[in-house]
Amino acid sequence: MFKAILKDIVTGCSGGVGAILMGFDGISIDQYLGEDNSVDLNLVGIEYSNIAKEVRRAAEILNVGTLSEVSIKTERFYIIIQVVTDEYFVGLIVDRSGNYGQGRYLLMREVPRLRIDLE
């Protein structure tokens, strides 16, 4: 069920590389990697879960509200992380030549479906 939603996000986004549903504890729930991509989604998810935890903790300390999204821009990719629940997030990798805004939109649109399926 999760893989179908992740696939919809990746294939619906111009330049979509892959998506992962993961716990903030670094344990992967499910993932979808598009064709012809050699990105290790599990490793990406684990490393960026640590960053998301730190940003979430900083938001709490600063009392600026709960974290909902983190975006990271690298030389090759955009990594967009959307919080699904207090325990889970979804991460989307988009090629730099892809459509970052479309990726954000698709994540926002599909997060409620992921949330329902996690309950």
For the stretch 97-116, pLDDT in tens is: 999 999 999 999 999 999 99
- CATH class belonging to 2-109: alpha beta
In the predicted structure, residue 11 carries a pLDDT above the cut 90: yes
The region of weakest confidence among 50-54, 92-96, 107-111 is: 50-54
In the predicted structure, residue 82 carries a pLDDT above the cut 90: yes
Backbone dihedral region for residue 63 (phi beyond 0: left; psi -120 to 50: alpha; all else: beta): left
In the predicted structure, residue 71 carries a pLDDT above the cut 80: yes
Maximum C-alpha span of the chain: 42
In the predicted structure, residue 37 carries a pLDDT above the cut 80: no
Beta bridge partners of 81: 70, 91
Would you list the domain boundaries of the chain?
Answer: 2-109
Q: Rounded to an integer, what distance in angstroms lies between the CA atom of residue 77 and that of residue 98?
A: 9
